[in-house]
């Protein structure tokens, strides 16, 4: 009986799948198939939402010329390998994997599908058909430091970090550089949330900062929770990844917005023109695409909830970064134990940024681990 049922079942399954295969092939044609893998859902209003906006720009730009498939909530492990492989099998020609933890899964699948192009976001390993892309988030954090330095009355800045990795540490140090440029008395305290996204933990960290006297908060985590706490307690803060002013109309000073759209569009365009490449070469650390304010991959939202003179200083910092007049990590750089990192006249290169495991002057405490 069971055997019989199984046979019938597999027969039905087989015939339906054949049918679908035929149909899908009949309509296959011009559109470029593009796959996206998301860590959470666009409902996080942070990291993944920013990617979703980028995806929407792709759809708007190419219209019927692309067909986009998205898989959300993919854990960074074997599930990622399976989902990426499935996207490749379904004929996607370029697949964007939008979280660091997809690095090994992406490389693994890329080996099996040499003709499919892969773009891994925020990773550092590449191969023939795996390119990487990242944003210079730290540029926005420098401007945050400038604004924080002018806005704080207690001279205490509360910073919520996700994990003590180079990417986050360079953000803290950039913030400290901006802070120092306008206010030598203020200092930054860091609380590690040990998560990228956990509204409860982020809110708790924000409460601790406020209880300890911080009146300007910054975050390198993804949810709007910190800003909501700031809003309730009369503190100020900065939006992360997307404009979060809807969550904190009175507390958000500005947001550093991740703008992935232009990068996605550029890479898809390259693919369609047969010019896709991994851009490997020197000075491409950590990715062949590491764009910031200048290349429009990092967008600074409207300056709000601040006096005109502060907004003007912020605008100057923004312009300075855009024109290259401000080099955030130019010497002399001294870490917070007094050790010289680089003398005057020199500046840290990209490689050195990714080796950061120290705090610069203006940050309290030391890097864990």
Partner 1 sequence: MITFIPRDKVSKNWIIIAPILSIVFTIFFGLLIFTFLGYNPLETLYQIFVSPFSRIDRISDILVKACPLIIIGTGLMLCFKSNVWNIGAEGQFIMGALLAGFIALSFPNIETKFFLLITILAGFVGGALWAFIPAILKTKLNVNEILVSLMLVYVAMLFIDFIVRGPLRDPMSFGFPLSKPYPEGALINKIPFPGIGFLGQLHYGILFVFLLVPISWIFVNKTLGGFKINVLGSAPQAAKFAGFKQNSITITVLLLSGGLAGVAGVIEVSANIGQLQPEVSFGYGFTAIIVAFLGRLSPVGILFAGIIIATVKLGADNAQMTMGIPKVVTGLFEGILLFFLLTGETLQKYKIKWSEGKK
CA distance 308 to 360: 29
CA gap 53, 142 in Å, rounded: 24
Phi and psi, residue 63, nearest 5°? 55, -125
What are 58's two structure tokens?
């792709």
Minimum distance from CB of 266 to partner 1 (Å)?
24
Out of 7, 17, 23, 349, the only residue in the binding site for partner 1 (CB under 8 A) is 17
Residue 155 CA to residue 169 CA, distance in Å, equals 21
Say if residues 40 and 73 touch (Cβ distance below 8 Å).
Answer: yes
- Does position 327 bind partner 1 by CB under 8 A? no
Residue linked to tokens 């890097």: 367
Considering only 44-52, 69-77, 201-209, 300-308, which stretch makes contact with partner 1 by CB under 8 A?
Answer: 69-77
- Distance separating the N- and C-terminal Cα atoms of the chain: 61
When asked if residue 233 is in the footprint of partner 1 (CB under 8 A), the reply is no
Q: Which member of 91, 315, 354, 358 binds partner 1 (CB under 8 A)?
A: 354
Asked whether position 56 contacts partner 1 by CB under 8 A, the answer is: no
Q: Which residues of 307-341 are buried (b: 16+ CB within 10 A; e: fewer)?
A: eeebbebbeebbebbeeeebebbeeebebbeeeeb
For partner 1, which is the closer residue by CB, 39 or 318? 39
Measured CA distances, 129 to 84, 277, 315 (Å): 14, 8, 39
Q: Which of 7, 8, 11, 13 binds partner 1 (CB under 8 A)?
A: 13
CB 263 within 8 A of CB 270: no
Q: Closer CB to partner 1, residue 74 or residue 268? A: 74
Residue 104, interface with partner 1 (CB under 8 A)?
Answer: yes
SS3 306: coil
Three-class SS of residue 46?
Answer: coil
Q: Which is nearer to partner 1, 112 or 185 (CB)?
A: 112
Q: In angstroms, give the least distance from the CB of 153 to partner 1.
A: 34
- Told to check if 70 binds partner 1 by CB under 8 A, we report yes
Least distance CB 103 / partner 1 (angstroms): 8
Residue of 124, 295, 304, 342 that binds partner 1 (CB under 8 A): 124
Site for partner 1 in 156-215 (CB under 8 A): 163-167, 169, 194
Structure tokens at 145: 């430091």
Among residues 32, 57, 61, 71, the one that binds partner 1 under rule CB under 8 A: 71
Q: Can you tell me the distance from the alpha carbon of 160 to that of 324, in angstroms, rounded to the nearest whole number? A: 28
How far from 155 is each of 23, 217, 253, 333, CA to CA, in Å?
65, 11, 17, 21
Measured from the CB atom, is 135 or 326 closer to partner 1? Answer: 135
Least separation, in Å, of the C-beta of 238 and partner 1?
23
Q: If binding means CB under 8 A, how many residues of this protein chain bind partner 1?
A: 44
What would the x/- binding string for partner 1 be over residues 72 to 91, using CB under 8 A?
Answer: xx-xxxxx-xxx-xxx-xx-
Smallest gap from Cβ 310 to partner 1, in A, equals: 33
Minimum gap (Å) between residue 306 Cβ and partner 1: 33
Q: What's the CA dihedral at 187, 193, 199, 202 to 10 degrees?
A: -20
With CB under 8 A as the contact rule, which of the stretches 130-138, 218-226, 237-245, 351-359 interacts with partner 1?
A: 351-359
Residues of this chain that interact with partner 1 (CB under 8 A) are 10, 12-14, 16-17, 20, 35, 41, 69-73, 75-79, 81-83, 85-87, 89-90, 100-101, 104, 112, 124, 163-167, 169, 194, 286, 354-355, 357, 369
């Amino acid at each position: 009986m069971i055997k019989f049922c199984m046979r019938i079942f597999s027969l039905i399954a087989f015939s339906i799948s054949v049918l679908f295969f035929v149909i899908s092939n009949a309509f296959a044609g011009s559109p470029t198939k593009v796959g996206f893998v998301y860590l959470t859902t666009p409902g996080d209003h942070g990291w993944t939402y920013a990617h979703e906006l980028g995806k929407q720009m792709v759809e708007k730009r190419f219209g019927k010329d692309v067909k986009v498939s998205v898989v959300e909530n993919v854990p960074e492990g074997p599930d990622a390998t399976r989902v990426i492989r499935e996207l490749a099998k379904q004929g996607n020609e370029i697949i964007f994997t939008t979280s660091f933890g997809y690095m090994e899964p992406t490389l693994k699948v890329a080996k099996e599908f040499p003709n499919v192009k892969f773009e891994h976001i925020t990773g550092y390993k590449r191969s023939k058909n795996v390119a990487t892309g990242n944003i210079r988030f730290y540029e926005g954090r420098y401007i945050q430091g400038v604004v924080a330095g002018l806005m704080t009355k207690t001279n205490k800045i509360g910073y919520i970090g996700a994990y003590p990795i180079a990417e986050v540490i360079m953000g803290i140090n950039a913030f400290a550089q901006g802070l120092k440029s306008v206010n030598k008395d203020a200092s930054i305290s860091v609380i590690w949330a040990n998560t990228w996204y956990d509204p409860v933990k982020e809110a708790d960290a924000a409460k601790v900062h406020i209880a300890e006297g911080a009146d300007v908060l910054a975050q390198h985590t993804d949810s709007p929770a910190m800003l909501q706490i700031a809003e309730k307690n009369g503190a100020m803060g900065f939006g992360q990844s997307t404009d979060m002013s809807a969550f904190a109309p009175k507390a958000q000073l500005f947001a550093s917005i991740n703008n992935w759209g232009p990068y996605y569009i550029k890479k898809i365009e390259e693919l369609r023109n047969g010019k896709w490449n991994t851009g490997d070469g020197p000075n491409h650390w950590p990715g062949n695409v590491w764009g910031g304010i200048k290349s429009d991959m990092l967008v600074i939202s409207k300056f709000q909830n601040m006096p005109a003179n502060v907004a003007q200083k912020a605008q100057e910092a923004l312009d300075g970064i855009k024109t290259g007049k401000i080099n955030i990590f130019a010497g002399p750089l001294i870490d917070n134990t007094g050790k010289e990192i680089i003398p005057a006249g020199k500046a840290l290169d990209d490689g050195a940024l990714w080796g950061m495991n120290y705090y610069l002057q203006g940050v309290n405490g030391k890097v864990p681990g």
